[in-house]
Structure 1
Amino acid sequence: MKIKLREMLQFPCFFTYKIIGLAKPELIDQIIKVIQIQIPGDYTPQIKSSNRGNYLSVSITICAKNFEQIEILYHEISKINIVRIVL
């Protein structure tokens, strides 16, 4: 799948991550902080709460200059201890 995705994208391009994490107040700030290190800019994430309110679904779009930025951010966001899934 990685090769196919790399072939499908033309850079620069917009790329949206969907992140599911624990419903903690610091989740959004931690995600944006990681993204700001790699690709500084203004970000407006879309946030939805789970039915029970235990988790947040965060969609955030970046403008990637190359495929490596997409991969690096995927791994760096995954390292946040309250993040459960990065798509």
Structure 2
Amino acid sequence: MKVNFDELVEFPSVFPFKVMGLADPKLPERVVSAVQKHAPGDYTTTVRPSSKGNYHAVSIRVTVTSQTHIEALYKALGEIEGVKHVL
């Protein structure tokens, strides 16, 4: 399903991303590094471990400027080693 963010979001806008991946202490810095390539800035992440501790959910809020920008971030975040889903 293709979402037309241009009709739903007024740009620029702060957009939340949640990256779910294997539990790795370096996952948050990999997320920030990937975001920095598309939207330089200072970022903080929040990390929530799964109930069994096998996975981490890393949340980050990014100022995006267009639908293309959102799509590029989803792609970059999805290519991080150990990432299973990007929401």
Please give the TM-score of this superposition, normalised by the length of structure 1.
0.92
Equivalent residue for 1:50? Answer: 50
Offset of residue 62 of structure 1: 0.3
Equivalence for 2:3: 2
Q: How many residue pairs are counted as aligned between the two chains?
A: 86
Q: List per-residue Cα deviations over 1:50-71 (Å, max 9, x = no partner).
A: 1111100111000011111110
Judge conservation of contact 2:6–2:66 (CA < 8 Å) in 1. no
Corresponding position of 1:24: 24
Runs of 4+ aligned residues of structure 1 deviating over 3 Å after TM superposition are none
2: CA distance, partners of 1:7 / 1:49: 34
CA RMSD of superposed structures (Å): 1.0
- Give the Cα–Cα distance (whole angstroms) in 2 for the partners of residues 21 and 14 of structure 1: 22
Give the aligned partner of residue 79 of structure 1.
Answer: 79
> Matched residues in 2 for 1:69 and 1:35: separation?
11
The TM-score normalised by the length of structure 2 is: 0.92
Structure 1 counterpart SS, 2:29: helix
Identity over aligned pairs, percent: 36
